[in-house]
């Protein structure tokens, strides 16, 4: 692939920037475009790229918790099978009372992702069908995927711990203590602690 | 089956011998451990040699084999399946996840100690336990049965309140039928 | 009660014990053979005795009503009653296994055998498990399939021997010094094909299909109920085999011959089943109404016009 | 007073009294009807004998009534089942309107049936036949003339039958100058071949309509299903047997005197028609979802067996057919009562919506269970005896392909038998029927009596063989050997029903007590929601019922048989008939009274001008 082939991507970005206000976009690399939009634009942008630019395949939707900035970032990942280009549509949502317009009429499978995000992050999708819980059953705490949810505190409060497990938080260390074996450098280098 | 610890009646010995050699398993394939069950049952390791046989419904089964981690959602179903089984019944906890949470020790939605919720007769250690380990676990259970020590169901009946309290702690919407046999 | 009736009661019990033992052992042997074909060691041949004994010793915690209690009882009643009316060994003077075999005939037996299935179906229906109902629906539909070639074969036999009773057919074979499977081979083939369905081994095991129906009619039956159903099934297996041996293979003059003949016969559905996948219900009905029925019709015509 | 006349008068009087007493209290009307039928039954069983002859002179006509062994057995059947049905009817019809109208026609039907059985000459036979027809018609339209115009359909077919019979009578009269049935029997041999064929065809058509043989059965399913159930119990159980009664006389007594081959052809054709009727009707019964329709189709199938037996015409076959006729009256009467009880308690008979009523109505289920076992022909109940004799007679008379059809139909009958029990009484509990109760005792009692009769006749079929044998000797089939509890065929094979029932009962009791019921007390009686559902706890309104398309695989398997061909044929046949007889609707206004008026006018003309017409 040569650099020239990025023309196609750049054309799309330019087209989108020209079409929508407040839309910023850039070519991330070969075959990958990223655009940032406002949250009220979500349905119109998605509809537009689906109908006019050939991004007919909805791959994935995810949510990123920017705790420090006070935002949720919703990411819609689309794919154009004709042009072989991946499009990331990003929108920022306030963390407080996060709510977004429902978009599952564009791709029906979006419903599944939206329900998951509603449950895991507490983002409300206005007008979405399906009130029932999706994966978490009978959950009454803070949505567990939010970064301010303290998992360790929660499990210590709710679940039992096997006695003797406390000192074995680091298994490798425990084993080396018991057997006097030396821990290889590689292991410590990539250790979680 | 009322079981005096010191002496088994002759009838119990015969019954236990039959029970020992005929274990109908309800494999509750909750986690990744379920993949170890097919090799255990089929040609390579052939658990049927020991009279171990898969069954489709809890009514017919003797052994509840919990293979792997249990989310609280699944735990509810496991408890239900366990309570639908008929005495005498045994539970085998399979893999580290059932023992101490295993690699899911810090998951917000996975229980860590199976024996706080249902009585476990035998634990099989490992992640994953190999089919040999599974068969060893079953043989261990058979030994317990022959000695009349696999009395998890009796414990459950006696300490039902304690078990219920633990279960209700994680299962918030409690809508299970009563258990009184 | 005089001595004779005591002896005949002992004879009843001996027959039932024999049928139970043979049926359960065959079940164990089948498991062993299946295991060997799959390159496994397999359970010991007496495994099914352990299973049944264990199931009897289990407690029964729940019931869904009195029909669930009576369903398995119906099944055992049907199997034992059919057993009573089947000559286990041929020869008039047989002392132990005579029972009631001069008091009934083939058509009676056909219906008596259904009694058990119906009882089981009712018991399964009472539990309210949808899997049971689906299994029963499939089983009964399949029964309509295999009954046709089976009855055609029996009609051919009856027309040829001019008798509808089993003892009559056995006497005919003894008098002519031949077996019916050689006398009317087409009927035998049709009956054999029907037998594949009768034993509910693959490919006709859609009734109990554990993978899709969680064992079908037996879904809600555990412990004692399951033990009773297994008992009844074992006795029924023996009844069907003994019936086949009696009417097609000239009966057996002693127990060893009986075991040899029934075992050989039993291997037909078993070996066919082990290597077969599973038919859907309508496929199996169409199977039975296809070649087996045609062969059965030819068998009847053969008897009528050639013999 | 002559007891035969007394019976007719009691029933007639009962009918009128029941109609009048409705003004006092609707309940009283039903009770009067019940008392009338009961007292008629008592008179019939204790006073009536075959010595009595009633002669009523009407101008030149003499109507002769009498009783013989053959009609006695049908009469006994009618009286017993009508008594049970009318007892059932008291509470079943409680609270419905136009009870006087209903009971009037109910009693008139019973009276007409007894009249048919008493008739020694064709004229009174025909008169009662028509009374029976229009009283039953009036009850079919009791619930209003709904879609499908079933009342009209029934009327048209009955009219075909009636005219066929009338024509036959006229022809007979022109040949032998007598209306007496015995005269026809004795002089039939002297007729020419064509005349024999014509008479045979006409009479068979006339009786074929009532007993719903294949081309003439179109009216039956809806008519049985749409009448009130307490009446259908006798409509399907007894009225159809009047056709069988006629068939019996024709096929056994009359045709046996023919020397011509045509009648033999009729017999074979009739037997095949009956066999095909039973197979197709059984298939249709299997795919029904409404319990009434299921039983209606099943009735057609069972009547097919009976006609088959009569058409075969060997001693065993006739015995089998008559035995089956009586059994069918009992079990089908009981089953329609069961459906009636269910309908009364729940309001519906749709098997896809009902379920688990065994928990609410155990006695009804018990009666249904025994009747279904008899219907399916499973030993040790009465149905088996009839089925066994039928098969044995088929095989000993070399009808080897008919037996396959009979077996196919009978095996497929297990399907709808189970469907009936499962759909209504077993399966999942439905929330809307939570508060259903068992029916009152007077409704349970007739059902239980019916089912106990089945047990008795299954154990001691000889109780019925004895009157049946004398009935058959009356029809010219003397020397029928029978045994109290031993069935045997021409080849010397036999079944000992006493041994069967002993074996079954002993083993069943042992097993049930020691294995089944022993621990019953220790177990817990749970709801039908407490089942294995892969650990899921079913919620209150979760549907776990398997009831819709219950036999879908079977339907798919028989689709080539059922596809279009038969449907198309039947529909076109029915439509064609409806179109063809469209002009009749201008004559027959659909109003029974007009029709009755026509009949009376016609009879008057017949009586007045008989001299000129016939001589």
Q: Do B48 and C221 touch (CB under 8 A)?
A: no
Q: Find all residues with CB under 8 Å of B32, minimum gap 6, and list them.
A: B68, B128
pTM of the model: 0.86
The pLDDT of residue A73 is 92
Domain that holds residue D573: 549-579
Residue B78 in contact with partner chain D when CB distance is under 8 A = yes
Tokens 């096929």 locate to: D251
- Please state the domain count of chain D: 2
pLDDT at D565 over 50: no
Report d(CA D358, CA C122) in Å as an integer: 11
Contacts of B84 in chain D (CB under 8 A): 530, 532
Could you read off the pLDDT of D107-123 as tens digits, one per residue?
Answer: 888 888 888 888 888 88
Report d(CA A118, CA A104) in Å as an integer: 13
pLDDT band at A58 (very low <50, low <70, confident <90, very high): very high
Could you read off the pLDDT of C250-262 as tens digits, one per residue?
Answer: 878 788 888 888 8
Residue B173 in contact with partner chain D when CB distance is under 8 A = no
pLDDT band at D574 (very low <50, low <70, confident <90, very high): low
Q: Do B107 and A165 touch (CB under 8 A)?
A: no
Least confident window among C151-155, D100-104, D474-478? D474-478
Q: Do C35 and B46 touch (CB under 8 A)?
A: yes
Ranked by mean pLDDT, the top range of A57-66, A158-167, D152-161 is A57-66
> Mind giving me the DSSP string for D167-207?
HHHHHHHHHHS--BHHHHHHHGGGS-HHHHHHHHHHHHHHH
Task: Identify the residue among B11, B13, B48 best suited for mutation to test binding to C, counting C beta carbons within 10 A and taking the highest.
Answer: B48
pLDDT at D148 over 70: no
CB C88 within 8 A of CB C245: no
Q: Nearest CA to D2 among D47, D69, D39?
A: D47
Contacts of B59 in chain D (CB under 8 A): 532
D559 and D513 belong to one structural domain: no
Would you say residue D400 lies in a domain? yes
CB D212 within 8 A of CB D236: no
Interface of A with B in 1-40 (CB under 8 A): none
Nearest CA in chain B to A152: B106
CATH code: domain of residue A86: 3.30.460.80
Q: Do C282 and D557 touch (CB under 8 A)?
A: yes
pLDDT at B1 over 50: no
Residue B55 in contact with partner chain C when CB distance is under 8 A = yes
Q: Taking the CB of residue D583, how many other CB atoms lie within 10 A of it?
A: 9
Q: Which residues, in sequence order, are bridge partners of residue A66?
A: A71
Would you say residue A127 lies in a domain? yes
Would you say residue D86 lies in a domain? no
Report d(CA A35, CA A74) in Å as an integer: 12
Could you read off the pLDDT of A143-172 as tens digits, one per residue?
Answer: 888 888 888 888 888 888 877 666 556 667
CB D458 within 8 A of CB D375: no
Q: Find all residues with CB under 8 Å of D440, minimum gap 6, and list them.
A: D91
Nearest CA in chain D to B57: D532
Report d(CA B122, CA B134) in Å as an integer: 10
D488 and D563 belong to one structural domain: no
D512 and D553 belong to one structural domain: no
Residue D493 in contact with partner chain C when CB distance is under 8 A = yes
D513 and D558 belong to one structural domain: no
Q: Which residues, in sequence order, are bridge partners of residue D62?
A: D57
Contacts of B100 in chain A (CB under 8 A): 161-162, 165
Interface of B with A in 111-130 (CB under 8 A): 111-113, 116
Of D511, D525, D551, the CB nearest to C77: D511
Least confident window among D62-76, D528-542, D600-614? D600-614
CB C75 within 8 A of CB C120: yes
Would you kindly state where each structural domain of chain C is located, as residue ranges? 3-306
D464 and D380 belong to one structural domain: yes
The pLDDT of residue D7 is 86
What SS3 state is found at A86? strand
Nearest CA in chain D to C224: D515
Task: Output the six-digit token pair for B23.
Answer: 């274990």
Least confident window among A178-192, C98-112, C258-272, C274-288? A178-192
Residue D536 in contact with partner chain B when CB distance is under 8 A = yes
pLDDT at D203 over 50: yes
The pLDDT of residue A60 is 92
pLDDT at D588 over 70: no
Q: How large a percentage of chain D has pLDDT more than 90? A: 1
* Residue B57 to chain C, least CA–CA distance (Å): 6
Q: Do A136 and B109 touch (CB under 8 A)?
A: yes
H or E segment to which residue C195 belongs: helix C185-198
- φ/ψ of C246, rounded to 5, equals -65, -45
Would you say residue A185 lies in a domain? no
Could you read off the pLDDT of D205-253 as tens digits, one per residue?
Answer: 888 888 877 767 777 777 787 788 888 888 888 888 888 888 888 877 7
Domains, in order of start, for chain B: 16-169 (3.40.50.12280)
Q: Do B77 and D532 touch (CB under 8 A)?
A: no
Q: Nearest CA to D37 among D318, D184, D238, D195?
A: D238
Domain that holds residue A15: 3-139
pLDDT band at D130 (very low <50, low <70, confident <90, very high): confident
Per the model's pLDDT, the better-predicted residue between C151 and D60 turns out to be C151
Residue A162 in contact with partner chain B when CB distance is under 8 A = yes
Report d(CA D243, CA D213) in Å as an integer: 10
Contacts of D538 in chain B (CB under 8 A): none
What SS3 state is found at D299? helix
pLDDT band at A1 (very low <50, low <70, confident <90, very high): very low
Q: Do C40 and B49 touch (CB under 8 A)?
A: yes
Least confident window among C51-60, C224-233, D382-391, D563-572? D563-572
Report d(CA B82, CA B75) in Å as an integer: 10
Enumerate neighbours of A (3 or more CB pairs within 8 A).
B
Report d(CA A139, CA D386) in Å as an integer: 66
CA atoms within 13 A on the CB side of D476: 15
Could you read off the pLDDT of B129-168 as tens digits, one per residue?
Answer: 888 988 999 999 999 888 888 888 888 888 888 888 888 8
pLDDT band at D158 (very low <50, low <70, confident <90, very high): confident
Could you read off the pLDDT of D271-290 as tens digits, one per residue?
Answer: 888 888 888 888 888 888 88
> Mind giving me the DSSP string for D442-505?
HHHHHHHHHHHHHHHHHH-THHHHHHHHHHHHHTT-------SSEEE-TTS-EEEHHHHHHHHH
D323 and D410 belong to one structural domain: yes
Q: Do B170 and A158 touch (CB under 8 A)?
A: yes
Would you say residue D61 lies in a domain? no
Could you read off the pLDDT of D47-75 as tens digits, one per residue?
Answer: 877 777 878 777 777 788 888 888 888 88
Nearest CA in chain B to D524: B181
CB D364 within 8 A of CB D334: no
Report d(CA D405, CA D301) in Å as an integer: 11
Contacts of D503 in chain C (CB under 8 A): 80-81, 84-85, 100
D430 and D567 belong to one structural domain: no
Could you read off the pLDDT of B11-47 as tens digits, one per residue?
Answer: 888 888 888 888 889 888 777 888 888 888 888 888 8
- Please state the domain count of chain A: 1
Could you read off the pLDDT of B74-126 as tens digits, one per residue?
Answer: 888 888 888 888 888 899 988 888 888 888 878 888 888 888 888 999 998 88
Task: Identify the residue among D524, D532, D538 best suited for mutation to test binding to B, counting B beta carbons within 10 A and taking the highest.
Answer: D532
Q: Which residues, in sequence order, are bridge partners of residue A89?
A: A35, A76
Report d(CA B65, CA B114) in Å as an integer: 12
pLDDT band at A20 (very low <50, low <70, confident <90, very high): confident
Would you say residue A116 lies in a domain? yes
Contacts of A134 in chain B (CB under 8 A): none
The pLDDT of residue D614 is 46
Report d(CA C253, CA C251) in Å as an integer: 7
- The CA-atom distances, in angstroms, between A184 and each of A180, B128, D209, D462 are 12, 25, 99, 97
- φ/ψ of D249, rounded to 5, equals -60, -45
């Amino acid at each position: 692939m040569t650099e020239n082939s990025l023309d196609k991507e750049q054309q799309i970005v330019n087209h989108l920037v020209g079409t929508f206000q407040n839309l910023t976009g850039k070519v991330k690399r070969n075959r990958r475009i990223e655009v940032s939009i406002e949250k009220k634009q979500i349905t119109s942008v998605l509809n537009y790229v689906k109908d006019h630019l050939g991004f007919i395949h909805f791959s994935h939707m995810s949510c990123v918790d920017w705790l420090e900035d006070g935002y949720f970032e919703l990411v819609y990942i689309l794919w154009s099978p004709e042009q072989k280009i991946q499009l990331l549509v990003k929108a920022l949502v306030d963390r407080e009372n996060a709510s977004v317009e429902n978009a599952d009429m564009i791709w029906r499978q979006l419903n599944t992702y939206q329900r998951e995000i509603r449950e895991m992050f507490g983002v409300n999708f206005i007008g979405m069908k399906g009130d029932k819980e999706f994966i978490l059953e009978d959950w009454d705490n803070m949505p567990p995927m939010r970064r301010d949810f303290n998992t360790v505190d929660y499990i210590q409060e709710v679940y039992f711990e096997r006695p003797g497990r406390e000192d074995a938080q680091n298994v490798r260390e425990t084993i080396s203590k018991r057997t006097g074996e030396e821990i290889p450098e590689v292991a410590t280098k990539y250790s979680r602690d | 089956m009322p079981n005096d610890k010191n002496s088994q009646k002759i009838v119990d010995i015969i019954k236990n011998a039959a029970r020992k050699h005929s274990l109908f398993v309800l494999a509750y394939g909750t986690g990744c451990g379920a993949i170890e069950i097919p090799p255990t049952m089929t040609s390579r390791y052939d658990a049927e040699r020991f009279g171990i046989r898969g069954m489709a419904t809890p009514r017919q089964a003797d052994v509840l084999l919990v293979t792997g981690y249990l989310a609280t959602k699944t735990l509810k179903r496991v408890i239900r399946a366990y309570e639908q089984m008929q005495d005498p019944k045994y539970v085998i906890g399979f893999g580290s996840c059932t023992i101490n949470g295993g690699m899911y020790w810090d998951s917000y939605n996975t229980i860590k100690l199976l024996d706080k919720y249902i009585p476990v007769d035998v634990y099989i250690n490992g992640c994953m336990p190999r089919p040999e380990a599974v068969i060893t676990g079953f043989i261990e259970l058979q030994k317990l049965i022959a000695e009349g020590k696999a009395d998890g169901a009796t414990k459950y009946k006696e300490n039902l309140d304690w078990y219920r309290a633990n279960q209700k702690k994680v299962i918030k919407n409690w809508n299970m039928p009563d258990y009184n046999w | 009660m005089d001595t004779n009736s005591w002896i005949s009661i002992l004879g009843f019990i001996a027959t039932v014990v024999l049928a139970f033992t043979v049926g359960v052992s065959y079940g164990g042997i089948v498991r062993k053979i299946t295991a060997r074909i799959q390159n496994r060691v397999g359970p010991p041949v007496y495994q099914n005795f352990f299973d049944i004994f264990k199931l009897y010793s289990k407690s029964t915690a729940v019931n869904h009503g009195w029909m669930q209690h009576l369903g398995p009882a119906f099944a055992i009643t049907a199997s034992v009653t059919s057993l009573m009316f089947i000559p286990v060994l041929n020869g008039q003077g047989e002392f132990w296994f005579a029972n009631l075999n001069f008091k009934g005939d083939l058509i009676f037996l056909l219906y008596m055998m259904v009694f058990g299935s119906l009882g089981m179906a009712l018991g399964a229906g009472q539990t309210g498990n949808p899997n049971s109902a689906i299994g029963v629906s499939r089983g009964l539909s399949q029964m309509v399939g295999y009954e046709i070639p089976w009855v055609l074969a029996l009609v051919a036999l009856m027309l040829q021997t001019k008798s509808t009773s089993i003892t009559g057919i056995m006497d005919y074979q003894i008098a002519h010094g031949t077996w019916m499977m050689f006398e009317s081979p087409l009927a035998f083939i049709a009956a054999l094909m029907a037998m594949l369905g009768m034993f509910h081994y693959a490919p006709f095991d859609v009734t109990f299909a554990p993978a899709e129906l969680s064992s079908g009619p037996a879904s809600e039956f555990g412990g004692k109920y399951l033990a009773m159903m297994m008992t009844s099934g074992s006795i029924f297996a023996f009844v069907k085999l003994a019936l086949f041996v009696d009417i097609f293979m000239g009966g057996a003059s002693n127990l060893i011959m009986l075991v040899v003949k029934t075992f050989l016969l039993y291997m037909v559905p078993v070996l066919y089943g082990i290597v077969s996948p599973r038919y859907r219900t309508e496929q199996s009905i169409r199977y039975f109404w296809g070649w087996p029925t045609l062969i059965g019709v030819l068998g009847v015509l053969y008897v009528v016009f050639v013999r | 007073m002559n007891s035969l006349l007394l019976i007719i008068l009691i029933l007639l009087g009962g009918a009128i009294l029941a109609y009048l007493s409705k003004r006092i209290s609707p309940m009283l009307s039903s009770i009067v009807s019940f008392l009338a039928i009961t007292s008629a039954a008592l008179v019939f069983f204790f006073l009536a004998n075959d010595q009595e002859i009633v002669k009523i002179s009407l101008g030149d006509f003499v109507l002769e009534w009498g009783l013989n062994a053959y009609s006695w057995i049908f009469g006994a059947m009618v009286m017993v089942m009508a008594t049970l049905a009318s007892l059932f009817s008291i509470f079943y019809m409680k609270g419905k309107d136009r009870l006087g109208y209903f009971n009037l026609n109910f009693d008139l039907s019973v009276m007409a049936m007894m009249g048919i059985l008493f008739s020694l000459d064709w004229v009174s036979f025909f008169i009662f036949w028509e009374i029976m027809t229009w009283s039953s018609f009036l009850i079919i339209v009791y619930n209003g003339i709904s879609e499908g115009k079933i009342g009209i359909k029934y009327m048209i077919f009955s009219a075909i039958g009636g005219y066929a019979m009338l024509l036959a009578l006229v022809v007979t009269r022109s040949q032998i100058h007598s209306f007496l049935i015995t005269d026809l029997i004795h002089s039939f041999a002297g007729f020419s071949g064509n005349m024999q064929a014509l008479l045979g065809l006409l009479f068979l058509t006339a009786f074929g309509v009532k007993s719903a043989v294949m081309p003439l059965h179109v009216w039956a399913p809806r008519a049985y299903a749409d009448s009130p159930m307490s009446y259908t119990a006798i409509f399907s159980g007894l009225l159809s047997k009047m056709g069988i009664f006629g068939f019996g006389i024709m096929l056994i007594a009359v045709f046996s005197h023919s020397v011509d081959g045509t009648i033999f052809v009729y017999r074979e054709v009739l037997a095949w028609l009956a066999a095909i009727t039973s197979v197709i009707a059984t298939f249709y019964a299997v795919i029904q979802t409404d319990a009434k329709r299921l039983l209606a189709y099943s009735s057609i199938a069972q009547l097919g067996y009976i006609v088959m037996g009569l058409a075969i015409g060997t001693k065993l076959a006739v015995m089998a057919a008559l035995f089956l006729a009586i059994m069918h009256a009992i079990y089908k009467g009981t089953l329609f009562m069961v459906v009636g009880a269910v309908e009364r308690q729940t309001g519906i008979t749709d098997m896809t919506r009902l379920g688990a009523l065994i928990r609410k109505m155990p006695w009804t289920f018990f009666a249904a269970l025994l009747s279904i076992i008899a219907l399916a022909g499973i030993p040790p109940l009465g149905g088996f005896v009839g089925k066994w004799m039928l098969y044995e007679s088929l095989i000993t008379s070399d009808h080897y392909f008919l037996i396959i059809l009979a077996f196919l139909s009978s095996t497929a009958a297990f399907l709808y038998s189970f469907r009936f029990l499962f759909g209504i009484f077993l399966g999942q509990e439905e929330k809307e029927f939570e508060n259903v109760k068992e029916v009152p005792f007077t409704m349970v009692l007739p059902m239980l009596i019916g089912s106990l009769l089945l047990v008795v006749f299954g154990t001691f079929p000889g109780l019925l063989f004895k009157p049946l044998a004398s009935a058959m000797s009356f029809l010219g089939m003397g020397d029928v050997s029978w045994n109290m509890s031993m069935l045997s065929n021409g080849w010397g094979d036999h079944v000992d029903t006493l041994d069967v029932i002993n074996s079954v009962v002993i083993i069943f009791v042992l097993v049930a007590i020691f294995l089944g019921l022993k621990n019953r007390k220790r177990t817990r009686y749970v709801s039908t929601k407490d089942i294995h559902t892969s650990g899921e706890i079913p919620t209150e309104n979760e549907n776990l019922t398997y009831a819709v398309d219950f036999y879908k695989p079977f339907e798919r398997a028989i689709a080539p048989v059922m596809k279009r061909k038969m449907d198309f044929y039947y529909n076109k046949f029915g439509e064609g008939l409806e179109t063809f007889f469209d002009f009749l609707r201008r004559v027959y206004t659909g109003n029974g009274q007009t029709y009755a008026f026509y009949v009376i006018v016609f009879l008057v003309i017949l009586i007045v001008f008989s001299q000129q017409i016939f001589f």
